[in-house]
């Protein structure tokens, strides 16, 4: 990209010439009538078993529920057929998937589109034989191995709804997810490697399924570690698929049939099992890849996200594979065994597009450009960022050191709820601005509203919202099994469709637009903190802390961290006599147990009392100000216990 005097970056002539989208007219065309715009794309991009009859509709079933959004009603399609069969027809020998194991001495695995189809069909047949039917839910608790791709695609092929649980999640986190979908089936592995150590995943799975409806557990052999085995319940993945036929007809799915559920954290620690449906997700996953990453047949795309998260679902798997290009999965940690591991993977596989999170970029920035210097990374042609705000120094480092001052950077903004990217300036059009996500994609109408629901003037911060017709992959609801559906519908309405009325989708992010319509995300409007790109609410952390029997109350705040973006800081009330260091260790353990190691706090402070208003609300902003030693503590007159200020100051010293 070239920098212009106004501080904006534009594509080079050569890049622009070859780009899939290189004319800004597309924005105007889309704006004329976004529904017509998406209609035409859907006809062109998706293989329909039966054509759709209505492009978009939105209705309001009752006052206590959110809107019911439908895209491409009447149509029938299968996502897996669009991913595999259609690309096998074009080029069966094209590499679909490259898998890099954590241990660099272990062999890389590659699957052509034809091989992947064959593996998916075998496993789809195996699932059917175990009793999985269209509409059933299936839990997937797998590390980053090819079988996670095979399992997800096999589910979509037979119309089963997958719920992927991040493999580093604790048994408790697994249990809640399995209970939510009341599934009878879980796919897991014996173990996996993390920094050379074996993690016994099966043991976590065994604990996690206690008290759930799971009756059948399919186990992939990965690490070869010893595991406990239940003969009536457990099945080896290989033994199930060995003798299966590699032919399995893709199920005919309605456009609005549930495709997958993926739980996320929302305001005040709400657990939000987000629902995505078939056609809208398929279209947006496919087209955003073509637009934002400028996919070409020869591209080798690497999204470093774990398939357990939405970025992994959409951009490690579905988007590149829908577009018939090669996707790379890497099992291990970015800097293991050495900080040049990523560079080596790029060099070895001639990766052309790298899509990662600011946390990883900041880590490499700290290692220094040397970790990339000894490898040839000249195959790269586009860089992407996702999941958190990328600060300007990190953006500039990424541009200079990895992008050699010429590669476009797409800073992509989206959410689990939007299923795919909704904001980023396109690499063949621009303009791109460091630390700003950019323009809303064609056909997506984003606005920034003030508290009264009026559009903010340029340069004024407000709430980021999406206006009708939203985007095809927008969240369709919060999943719940009977008898909890009504609660879920109310939650759906309250979290996303309440602030400005039922036709305005609220992102819960704060943002600013400049005079070029470039959107800069400034932070969350709720209590979500993004720790290394993961969504965790302070209230979830607080309840984990409060699990400790001797802790009655706690307050968590997010403070900036050089690598992780944000990191939690815990204040907990403790008046007991036990050794404080021990209590702190136990609290840390509680947090790691319920939220995973990612949520480990920077520090845990034990206090006598937390600052509270007269109405009993904990003043978290005051804690933040005290931590940063700010002179102006704001209005403290509403405090019911002003003496806490001095006490906490002392502890922080």
Q: How far is the CB of 518 from ligand WTA (least distance, A)?
A: 12
Element containing residue 281 per DSSP (H, E): helix 278-292
Residues written for the chain? 653
Task: Decide whether 277 or 415 has the Cβ nearer to ligand WTA.
Answer: 415
What does the per-residue mask of binding to ligand WTA show for 535-564, with x meaning CB under 6 A?
Answer: x-----------------------------
Phi, psi (rounded to 5 degrees) for 261 = -120, 135
* Residue 637, preceding peptide bond in cis (omega within 30° of 0): no
CB of 40 vs ligand WTA, minimal distance in Å: 26
CB nearer ligand WTA, residue 181 or residue 389: 389
Report whether the peptide linkage leading into residue 90 is cis, meaning its omega lies within 30 degrees of zero: no
Contact (Cβ atoms closer than 8 angstroms) between residue 256 and residue 476: yes
* Residue, CB closest to ligand WTA: 416
Contact call for residue 386 and ligand WTA (CB under 6 A): yes
Q: Which of 217, 258, 283, 389 binds ligand WTA (CB under 6 A)?
A: 389
Window 56-75: residues binding ligand WTA (CB under 6 A): none
Give the nearest distance from C-beta 246 to ligand WTA in angstroms.
34
Chosen residue from 167, 412, 539, 594 binding ligand WTA by CB under 6 A = 412
Q: Tell me the per-residue interface mask from 306 to 345 with ligand WTA, x by CB under 6 A, - otherwise.
A: ----xx----------------------------------
Q: Both tokens of residue 36?
A: 């017509």
* Residue 542: CB minimum distance to ligand WTA, A: 20
433 or 530, CB closer to ligand WTA? Answer: 530
State which residue, 241 or 425, has the beta carbon closest to ligand WTA.
425
CA-nearest of 119, 116, 99, 115 to 107 is: 99
For the window 503-522, what string marks contact with ligand WTA as x by the rule CB under 6 A? ----x-x-----------x-
From 274, 361, 271, select the one nearest 310 (Cα to Cα). Answer: 274
Residue 529 Cβ vs ligand WTA, minimum distance, rounded to whole Å: 10
**Residue 602 CB, nearest distance to ligand WTA (Å)?**
20
In the 8-state DSSP scheme, what is residue 401?
Answer: I
Minimum distance from CB of 229 to ligand WTA (Å)?
Answer: 35
Cβ 263 to ligand WTA, closest distance in Å? 10
Binding piece for ligand WTA, criterion CB under 6 A, among 5-13, 413-421, 495-503, 645-653? 413-421
Strand 382-386 versus strand 409-412 pairing type: parallel
* 530 touching ligand WTA, by CB under 6 A: yes
**What single-letter DSSP state applies at residue 613?**
B
Question: Which stretch in 33-41, 158-166, 412-420, 636-644 sits in contact with ligand WTA by CB under 6 A?
Answer: 412-420
Query: Phi and psi dihedrals of 139, rounded to 5?
Result: -90, 140
Nearer to ligand WTA, 56 or 566 (CB): 566
Tokens of 518: 């470039």
Least CB distance to ligand WTA at residue 299 (A): 21
List, as one string, the DSSP characters of 66-115.
--EEEEEET-EE-HHIIIIIHHHHH-TTSEEEEEE-SSTTSPPEEEEHHH
Nearest distance from C-beta of residue 188 to ligand WTA, angstroms? 23
User: CB 36 → ligand WTA: shortest distance, Å?
Assistant: 28
Under DSSP, is residue 536 helix (H, G, I), strand (E, B) or coil?
A: strand
81 belongs to the binding site for ligand WTA (CB under 6 A): no
Q: What letter does residue 527 receive in the DSSP assignment?
A: S
Binding of ligand WTA by 527 (CB under 6 A): no
Which residue pairs from 22-26 have beta carbons closer than 8 angstroms and sit at least 24 positions apart in sequence?
22/428, 22/429, 23/429, 24/429, 26/442
Q: Which stretch binds ligand WTA (CB under 6 A): 317-325, 414-422, 446-454, 497-505?
A: 414-422
Binding residue for ligand WTA, selected from 437, 448, 488, 555, defined by CB under 6 A: 437
Please report, for residues 137, 199, 214, 393, 568, the alpha-carbon distance to residue 593 in angstroms, rounded to integers and kept in the order given. 26, 15, 22, 34, 15
Q: Which is nearer to ligand WTA, 266 or 611 (CB)?
A: 266
Among 204, 288, 416, 644, binds ligand WTA (CB under 6 A): 416
Cβ proximity to ligand WTA: between 101 and 263 the closer is 263
CB 246 within 8 A of CB 118: yes
CB of 160 to ligand WTA, least distance (A): 23
Is 388 an interacting residue with respect to ligand WTA (CB under 6 A)? yes
Residue 463 or 554: the one with the smaller Cβ distance to ligand WTA is: 463
526 forms part of the interface with ligand WTA (CB under 6 A):
no
Q: Residues 283-312: x/- map of binding to ligand WTA (CB under 6 A)?
A: ---------------------------xx-
Q: Does 8 bind ligand WTA (CB under 6 A)?
A: no
31 C-beta neighbours (distance < 10 Å), count:
12
264 binds ligand WTA per the rule CB under 6 A: yes
CB of 309 to ligand WTA, least distance (A): 6
Secondary structure string (H, E, C) spanning 406-466: CCCEEEEECCHHHCCCCECCCCCCCCEECCECECECCCCCEEEECCCCCECCCCCCEEEEE
Specify the residue, 389 or 495, whose C-beta has the smaller distance to ligand WTA.
Answer: 389
**In the complex, least distance from residue 221 CB atom to ligand WTA, rounded to whole angstroms:** 31
Which of 572, 494, 482 lies closest to 268, judged by CA? 494
Q: In the beta sheet, which residues pair with residue 512?
A: 520
Secondary structure, 3-state, 293-360 = CCCCCCCEEEECCCCCCHHHHHHHHHHHHHCCCEEEEECCCCCCCCCCHHHHHHHHHCCCEEEECHHH
| Cβ contacts of 493 within 8 Å, gap of 6 or more | 64, 65, 66, 502
Query: Which residue, 168 or 198, is less far from ligand WTA as judged by CB?
Result: 168
Shortest distance in whole angstroms from residue 165 CB to ligand WTA:
15
- Nearer to ligand WTA by Cβ, of 212 and 277: the residue is 277
As measured in angstroms, the least distance from the Cβ of 385 to ligand WTA is: 6
> Which of 11, 146, 387, 408 is in the footprint of ligand WTA by CB under 6 A?
387
Pairing of strands 446-449, 477-478: unpaired
Q: Phi and psi for 597 in degrees, rounded to 5?
A: -60, -25
Q: Tokens standing for 238?
A: 């290989």
CB 387 within 8 A of CB 533: yes
Which range in 18-26, 81-89, 374-382, 409-417 contacts ligand WTA by CB under 6 A?
Answer: 409-417
**Which parts of this chain interact with ligand WTA (CB under 6 A)?**
264, 310-311, 386-389, 411-416, 437, 507, 509, 521, 524, 530, 535
């Amino acid at each position: 990209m070239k920098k212009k005097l106004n501080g904006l970056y534009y594509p080079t002539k050569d890049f622009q010439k070859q780009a899939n989208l290189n004319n800004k007219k597309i924005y105007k065309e889309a704006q004329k009538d976004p529904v017509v715009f998406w209609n035409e794309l859907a006809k062109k991009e998706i293989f329909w078993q039966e054509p759709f009859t209505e492009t978009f509709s939105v209705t309001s079933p009752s006052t206590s529920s959110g809107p019911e959004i439908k895209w491409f009603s009447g149509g029938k399609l299968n996502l897996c057929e669009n991913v595999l069969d259609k690309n096998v027809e074009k080029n069966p020998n094209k590499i679909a998937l490259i898998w890099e194991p954590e241990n660099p001495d272990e062999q890389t695995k590659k699957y052509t589109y034809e091989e992947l189809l064959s593996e998916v069909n075998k496993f789809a047949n195996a699932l059917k034989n175990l009793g999985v039917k269209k509409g059933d839910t299936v839990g997937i608790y797998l590390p980053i191995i090819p079988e996670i791709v095979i399992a997800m695609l096999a589910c979509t092929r037979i119309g089963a709804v997958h719920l992927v649980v991040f493999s580093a999640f604790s048994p408790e986190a697994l249990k809640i997810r399995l209970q939510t979908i009341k599934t009878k089936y879980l796919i897991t592995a014996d173990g996996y490697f993390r920094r050379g150590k074996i993690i016994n995943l099966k043991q976590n799975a065994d604990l996690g399924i206690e008290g759930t409806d799971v009756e059948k557990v399919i186990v992939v052999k990965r690490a070869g570690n010893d595991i406990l085995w239940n003969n009536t319940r457990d099945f080896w993945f290989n033994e199930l698929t060995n003798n299966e036929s590699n032919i399995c007809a893709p199920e005919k799915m309605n456009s609005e049939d549930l495709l997958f559920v993926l739980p996320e954290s929302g305001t005040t620690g709400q657990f939000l099992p987000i629902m995505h449906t078939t056609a809208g997700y398929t279209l947006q996953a496919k087209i955003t890849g073509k637009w934002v990453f400028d996919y070409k047949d020869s591209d080798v795309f690497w999204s470093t996200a774990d398939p357990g998260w939405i970025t992994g679902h959409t951009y490690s798997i579905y988007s590149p594979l829908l577009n018939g290009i090669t996707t790379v999965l890497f099992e291990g940690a970015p800097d293991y065994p050495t900080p040049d591991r990523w560079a080596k993977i790029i060099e070895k596989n001639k990766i052309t597009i790298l899509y990662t999170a600011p946390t990883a970029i900041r880590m490499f920035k700290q290692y220094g450009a040397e970790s990339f210097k000894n490898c040839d990374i000249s195959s790269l042609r586009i860089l992407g960022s996702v999941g958190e705000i990328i600060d300007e120094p990190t953006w500039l480092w990424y541009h200079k050191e990895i992008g050699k001052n010429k590669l476009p950077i797409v800073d992509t903004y989206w959410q689990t709820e939007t299923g795919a990217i909704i904001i980023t300036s396109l690499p063949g059009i621009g303009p791109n601005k460091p630390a700003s996500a950019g323009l809303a994609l064609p056909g997506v109408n984003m606005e920034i509203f003030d508290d009264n629901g009026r559009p903010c003037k340029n340069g004024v911060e407000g709430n980021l919202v999406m206006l009708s017709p939203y985007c095809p992959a927008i969240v369709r609801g919060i999943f719940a099994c009977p008898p909890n559906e009504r609660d879920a519908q109310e939650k759906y309405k309250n979290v996303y469709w309440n602030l400005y009325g039922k036709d305005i989708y609220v992102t819960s992010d704060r943002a600013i637009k400049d005079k070029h319509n470039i959107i800069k995300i400034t932070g969350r409007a709720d209590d979500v903190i993004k720790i290394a790109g993961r969504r965790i609410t302070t209230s979830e952390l607080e309840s984990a802390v409060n699990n400790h029997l001797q802790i009655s109350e706690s307050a968590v705040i997010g403070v900036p961290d050089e690598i992780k973006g944000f990191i939690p800081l815990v204040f907990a009330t403790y008046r007991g006599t036990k050794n404080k260091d021990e209590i702190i260790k136990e609290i840390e353990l509680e947090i790691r147990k319920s939220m995973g190691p990612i949520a480990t706090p920077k520090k845990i402070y034990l206090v006598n009392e937390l600052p509270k208003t007269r109405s009993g609300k904990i003043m978290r902003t005051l804690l933040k100000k005290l931590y940063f030693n700010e002179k102006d503590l704001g209005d403290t007159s509403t405090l019911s216990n002003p003496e806490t200020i001095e006490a906490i100051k002392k502890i922080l010293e």
